[in-house]
Chain A
Amino acid sequence: MTAGRQAAAGFAESYQRLPGRSWGLLGRTSLWQGKDHILLVQSRGYSESYRRFYFGEIQALILRRTSRSRNGALVLLGLALLLFAAALLGTSSASLLWLIPGVPIAIALVVLVLGGPSCTVHVRTAIETSELSALCRVRSAERSLARISALVEEIQGAATVADIALLGDSATTSAPPIERSRISPESSPPPLPAQHPFRRHFALFVLLLFDAALSAAQVWAPGQVVGGAAVALGLAELLLAIFALVEGRRLKLDARLSRVTVAALVYVCAAFVASWIGSIIMTMKAVAAGTLLPGTMPGPSVVPWLAELCIPISLGLGLRGLWLLRRLRSTN
């Protein structure tokens, strides 16, 4: 009886679980090893979707390290620090309530860090290149890929150095000239447009330096004018960071510059959220203490420790970004 007849007769194939799984908003993804294929299972609670990749058809497995877990950890670390600082530096016992969101965020941070560096894995067949979304951590992905590679090599045989050299020759000769000049190892990154390609990045990093100065002013000379200027500056930074990221995607800029821009965007958003929550709490405290009359609006205010925290972050991001821009310009 062939495998097909067995399948038609309803024989369930046994699957072995491969290391690695991921969770998303819509469900869970896992990877399973079958007799002659790997099965990617997307479970959405009450249904499952399947994708099969047969060992005989897999052409390549590509693992790419990403900074997703590191960025996530930095965001969670920032939030946890903010909340713990708010809880510990607060004067009243009510400030300990900040620990209620702080502790779960700290636990999530520990879980994220223990998971190790993140990655994405793609499998290429003759038809398509698909992401194995279950493999999102380098440690488990490497274990799974070792098992899959062994199984694929059992069917296809191992790729020899001579084969790869021949393939390299054919790939190089068959590539169109424009692409070849782009991929040659000694070639520099693609030329950048001559007309101020980084003006949005430059403006963003300069504004971050102003942000540091304004935060210092908020610490030592707080006032409604300074607070209002900080809000306006934050909005300008937010817009510039978004525009810079869009521009960076179009120009395919340096990855480090993109990371600093993303970090600036995350910083601005986090500062807005933190100052918003802080303002609400300060207003509620003021109302409770009777220092703020009902019906009157408080002016732009900022939690003092938040302004202190913003100084090194905005200064660091601004200087790092300007240094990267200068280096990139000198390279090109």
Chain B
Amino acid sequence: MSLVCSGCSSPLPAAALAARDWECTNCAAKLALTIFPALWRASPAAETGHALSSDSDAACFFHTAKRAEVACDACGRFICSLCAVELGGGSYCPACIDSGDRRAGVPSLETHRTLWDRIALAVAVLPMLIFYVTLVTAPVAIFLSIRHWSSPGSLLGRSRWRFVVAIVLGGLQLFGMVAVILGLVFAFSEARTP
């Protein structure tokens, strides 16, 4: 339960907890500590779940001999109090906690997101330095924008302006390429005609 210095990992004395500012006696690091009641609050005893009392009781998906207490907020499975994991005001089953990263179905469990809008914008903008590459990258940028238009973006909430810009730029690049090709064809045909 004791705190340690974040500089040298040596335990902080009891006096440090009462003092707002403290200088570590081991490494002389200047610390500012803010402690909260959770530091000494006892952890709740682990639930073991209740056995089925009658045939009408719903059974836990993972423990068929135990009574279901709650439904998982992500997948809807009935789970007992042993399986239920309280997180962010909801109850989740262990399977959803485990697969939260992969399924991206429960934002409060997600630890990683790919920002497709940035990727699409980069694919649309960066190849403009080498114009000929845009023949390939412009359709890719448009495809990515349309494919991932509804994919979840950043958890911090972003608008879709990057997708819009990527589609517009990709469209302009394609239009420019087609215009250049048509112009070349026209010029060649003009040159051939006597």
Contact = CB atoms under 8 A, between A and B. Distances in A.
B1 A174 contact: yes
Nearest to B31: A64
| A-B pairs with lowest CB-CB distance, top 3 | A4-B90, A168-B14, A4-B73
Interface of B: 1-8, 10-15, 17-18, 25-41, 43, 73-74, 87-92, 105-108, 110-115, 118-119, 122, 152, 154-157
Given A15-B157, A54-B88, 19 more contacts: A2-B89, A3-B89, A4-B91, A8-B90, A46-B122, A47-B113, A52-B88, A58-B36, A59-B35, A59-B39, A62-B3, A62-B34, A63-B31, A63-B32, A126-B43, A156-B36, A166-B40, A172-B13, A183-B12
Contacts, number: 197
A128 interface: no
B36 A36 contact: no
Contacts of B30: 64-65
Given A64-B30, A156-B37, A175 B156 contact: no
A134 B18 CA distance: 27
Contact of B111 (A15, A51, A159, A256): A51
Interface stretch (A37-45, A106-114, A236-244, A315-323): A37-45
Interface in A140-194: 142, 145, 149, 152-153, 156-159, 161, 163-172, 174-175, 179, 182-185, 187, 189-190
Given A60-B3, A164-B18, A179 B11 contact: yes
A26 interface: no
A122 B101 CA distance: 25
Given A56-B38, A164-B17, A187-B25, A5 B90 contact: yes
Contact of B11 (A37, A120, A183): A183
A46 B27 contact: no
Contact of B17 (A5, A168, A190): A168
Interface string A1-36: 011110110111111000000000000000010001
A145 B156 CA distance: 20
Nearest to A41: B156
Interface of A is mostly: mixed
A2 B1 contact: no
A61 B34 contact: yes
Interface in A45-76: 45-52, 54, 56-65
Nearest to A39: B155
Given A4-B74, A41-B156, A157 B11 contact: no
Contacts of B6: 62, 64, 120, 122, 129, 131
B169 to A, nearest CB: 17
A87 to B, nearest CB: 33
A46 B10 contact: no
Nearest to A256: B28
B7 A64 contact: yes
A60 B156 contact: no
A157 B37 CA distance: 7
